[in-house]
Amino acid sequence: MGMDGLQSARHLRWVGLLLLGLLTFWPVHSAQAKGCAGNWDYSESSLQNARRRLKSPAHPNLLSRVQCGTDLTAALDLAEWPADCPTCQREYIELLRDLILYTRQAASVTTSRQNKLALYRREFETRIKLSDFLLSTHDPALIKTYWSDNFDGMGDAMELGGFGREFHEQALLHRDQIYSEKTFRTWARDIRSCSAWDFRAGQNKDFPALRRSLMCSEDCRRALVRIRQRADGGQAADKVAMGEALDDLLPAAEDCPTGATP
């Protein structure tokens, strides 16, 4: 399995911005992560050592752990994947999950809004990396065990950060996967905020206001149609129950009310 398949254009586009943002807000001394940069590979022993390094009590704080994980995964992006190593797959998955955990914890304790957004963005990108890797394995057991839970968590991070447009794009991307009820509800809340794509703009809108904002914008109406098509078309485990849940959050698709504006 080649590593080229694991690196999407989307990841490459964001990685520079992420690293720049992380370096600007992390204190130089508190974020030191000695011994994490270097030559790491996808062998079982190297990945196990990487996970030990990430979990080491030598880290002075959570930001140091996130910096360490950033260094580790950046080094691994340059390595070649071994021809056949199921244990390496699981170690790599758990390394990414460890980094995701520490990134969420760091976001939860920082008092700076800017820092929170940078950390939620970092978590989002790590979850995309994990999602892409899981799907590239073509291993039904791994995908069943980890993919949906990871996507649910991605939705949480993107809602906390207000990254609505990006989550909508991710939800549209994976039409071959079954989405949990949690993911559909997150997606529905996202579409309610379509006027700003920030998860917040639609929080307090009643259905008449939602109809105006969703039906009178081509972009928003298209989003509404697509989420209902995905739920009805088999991307929900229980499409009847999911249809009822969406009815509580979103209006049915119809024409823009006469004389109305978004």
* DSSP secondary structure letter of residue 6: G
Most confident of 40-44, 215-219, 233-237: 40-44
Q: What is the pLDDT of residue 258?
A: 67
Tokens of residue 250, six digits? 């979103």
**In 138-217, which ranges are continuous DSSP H helix?**
140-161, 164-173, 181-192, 207-215
Task: Please state the rounded mean pLDDT for residues 130-139.
Answer: 96
Q: Cβ(32)–Cβ(64) under 8 Å?
A: yes
pLDDT greater at residue 260 or residue 110: 110
> 70-74, 193-197, 230-234: which has the minimum mean pLDDT?
230-234
pLDDT digits (tens, 9 = 90+) for 181-199: 999 999 999 999 999 999 9
> 61-65, 95-99, 190-194, 208-212: which has the minimum mean pLDDT?
208-212
The closest of 235, 151, 155 to 191, measured between CA atoms, is 155
Tokens of residue 50, six digits? 């990487």
pLDDT surpasses 70 at 18: no
Tokens of residue 21, six digits? 């943002």
Q: Which residues on adjacent β-strands are paired with residue 179?
A: 236
Distance between CA atoms of residues 193 and 180, nearest Å = 21
pLDDT surpasses 80 at 30: no
Q: How far is CA 205 from CA 109, 134, 168, 182, 192, in A?
A: 31, 37, 19, 21, 8
pLDDT surpasses 80 at 64: yes
Classify each residue of 239-248 as buried b or exposed e, where b means 16 or more C-beta atoms within 10 Å of its C-beta.
Answer: eeebeebbee
Distance between CA atoms of residues 182 and 187, nearest Å = 9
pLDDT digits (tens, 9 = 90+) for 150-169: 999 999 999 999 999 999 99
Residue length, the chain? 262
Neighbours of 156 (CB within 10 A): 16
pLDDT surpasses 70 at 178: yes
Domain ranges of the chain: 1-161, 167-262
Tokens of residue 98, six digits? 């460890």
Whole-prediction pTM: 0.85
Q: Under 8 Å CB-to-CB from 144, ≥6 apart: which residues? A: none
Task: Please state the rounded mean pLDDT for residues 210-233.
Answer: 93
